[in-house]
Structure 1
Amino acid sequence: MRIEQIKAFLAVNDTGSFGQAAKQCGVTQSTVSRQVQALEAHLGTSLFHRHAQAKLTVGGERLLPHARRICQEWEKVEEKMKELLQGEQPELCVAAIHSVCAYFLPPILQSFCRSFPQVQLRVTALGSDRALKVLRDGLVDVAIVMNNKYLTATGEMYVKPLYEEVIQVLVSKDHPLASFETTTIKDLVGFPQVIFKDGYGMQRIVQDLFTSHGFDLPVAMELNTLDAFRGVIRQGNLIALLPQSALQEAVLDPTLAVVSIALDSGLPLTRDVVLVTTRDRLEIPTVKNFFNLVYNQTQS
């Protein structure tokens, strides 16, 4: 059953003529006849008595009120789609990792709100894997996360790299590593670690790092807020590997110290932050405007 068939049925009923219905619908009479016949075939009953004036059969009378409601609902759908494609989207939902929400996004959000005051922004701080899942499930429009190729390497995902960020070690000022200018993975093995909870990209990076060097990761605690990381690290022998943006407040805290990590290659340990949406959402002006605003921020 197609909406054109329902519209043809209603036009014939309203005008009492297949010819007049064709004029009303802007098609040929044969087209209207085929559409009505296809609808009758689908429903398994005739809908009109075909005399000088087309009149409804019992089946047609039963269909009529439902057909009117179907067309009314379809008109509402068309109007909603028109509004969506014209950028009249009432809200925009964004999921981003905590450090992005805290430091990278605020000026962008302010700029977007000034340019598009009619759009309500909803921003949620989530781990990378969780953010990508809710994007895939249609619960948010844009995600700003650490790249996970297992979740983004699909045809529906549209991914843009934003920036590469150095990962360092957070320790208390009295920790044995606090005096190091640069440390290695081997140096870290003897100290219990605080890591992000499951579903966070940083947990995956840290675990993969230790595994690739042949070490077990000595996990003492799992957390999911930067304040909590700083609080427990201050207390003693625990350490945490965190991205540079998550350490902005720590470097100003006299009770904490930040130490660089050197890989075997001599290069620093880094993570990649990416901007992700789905290709169908990128066709929506509101989503496209926000996506471009975020991406252009890193290119300027």
Structure 2
Amino acid sequence: MRLEQLEAFLAVAETGSFQHAAHKCGVTQSTISRQVQALEAKLGVPLLHRTAKVKLTLGGHCLLPHARKICQEWCSANREIHDLLAGKQPELCVAVIHSVCAYYLPPVLQRFTRDYPQVQLRVTALGSDRSLKVLRDGLVDVAIVMQNRFLTASSEMIVDPLYEESIAVLVGANHPLADFTTIPWSELLQYPQVMFKDGYGMQRLVQEQFHSLGVELNAVLELNTLDAFRGTIRQGDWVALLPESALVDAYSDPTLAVRPLEDPTLRRQVVLVTTQDRLQIPPIQYFRQLVSELVKPKANHIAS
């Protein structure tokens, strides 16, 4: 069964004439007749009494409301897709890691809401792995995350590198490690670690580094907000390995100290990820462009 067959039947039913139906549909009368005959053959029942004024059979009366509903739904779907491609998207959903959300994304959000006031912007701060999962599940349109090639290897994924940054050590101002200019791994390993929770790319990066060094990671606490990291670290002898963008507020906090690592140093790459199909949508195209232009790392505070 084809849509044009239902449209032909509906036009005849509403006009009472094959000729008028052909005029309404913009095709020949013979085309309307063939479409209706094909529909009748498919259903196995006659749909019309072909008299001077065409009337519906019992089968035609049964089909009529369903044909109307199907054609209306198709028109509605076609209109919504046209609006989507024209940039009339009702909302744009973004999943983004906390450090980017707090420090680098606000200029993007302000520009986007100014230029697309009709689009409701929804931003959720999540870990990298969780962000990529909700992107794959279709719950968000864009993810800004720490690169994970295992989760972005699909051909449908579009990955835009944004920047790379160093990983540094956050300690309390009176912590013994604060006396170092650069912290050796041998000294760092003596202290308990505070880490991001499962689902955050930083947890995976730190775990892999400790594994490569052949030492056991002593993780005493998992957190998921930057405020919680700062509050916890400033009050004890624990340490945290954090990316530079997550340490912006720590540099100006006299109760905290940030120190770079000695070799082997750690770095991470931050990327924007979306899917091929979403790049056909103008608001998503524009958001991607703004992120590329405006999300840039600040000046490097970490002394080496």
Offset of 1:60 from its aligned partner?
0.8
Report the 3-state secondary structure (helix = DSSP H, G, I; strand = E; otherwise coil) of the residue aligned with 2:36.
Answer: helix
Residue number in structure 2 paired with 1:180:
180
**Distance in 2 between residues matched to 1:22 and 1:299, nearest whole Å:** 60
* Equivalent-residue separation in structure 2 for 1:39 and 1:263 (angstroms): 75
Q: Which runs of 5+ in 1 are unaligned?
A: none
TM-score by length of 1: 0.92
Q: How many residues align?
A: 297
* Structure-to-structure mapping, 1:12-51, within 5 angstroms: 12-51=12-51
Q: What's 1:295 paired with?
A: 292
1:95-120, Cα deviation, whole Å (9 max, x unpaired): 10000110000111111122222222
Does the 8 Å CA contact 1:262/1:269 hold for their aligned counterparts? no
The alpha-carbon deviation at position 17 of structure 1 amounts to: 3.6
Residue pair 1:94, 1:124 contacting (<8 A) in 2 also: yes
Amino acid at match of 1:275: L
Paired residue secondary structure (1:276) = strand
1:256 aligned onto 2:256: yes
Q: What is the aligned partner in structure 2 of residue 280 from structure 1? A: 277
- Aligned residue runs from structure 1 range 185-264, under 5 A: 185-264=185-264
- Residue 300 of structure 2: aligned partner: none
Q: Tell me how far apart the structure 2 counterparts of residues 45 and 227 of structure 1 sit (CA, whole Å).
A: 71
Alpha-carbon distance between aligned partners in 2 of 1:2 and 1:180, rounded to the nearest angstrom: 75
1:117 aligned counterpart, secondary structure: coil
SS in 1 for 2:150: helix
Change (3 A) 1:136 1:37: farther
TM-score of the aligned structures, taking structure 2 as reference length:
0.91
State the Cα RMSD in Å.
1.9
In the other structure, the counterpart of 2:164 is 164
Any gaps of 5 or more consecutive residues in structure 2? 298-304
Q: CA deviation at 1:38?
A: 3.6
Distance in 2 (CA, whole Å) between partners of 1:71 and 1:88 is: 23
**In the alignment, residue 5 of structure 2 is paired with which amino acid?**
Q
Q: Would you say the 8 A contact 2:105–2:295 is kept in 1?
A: no
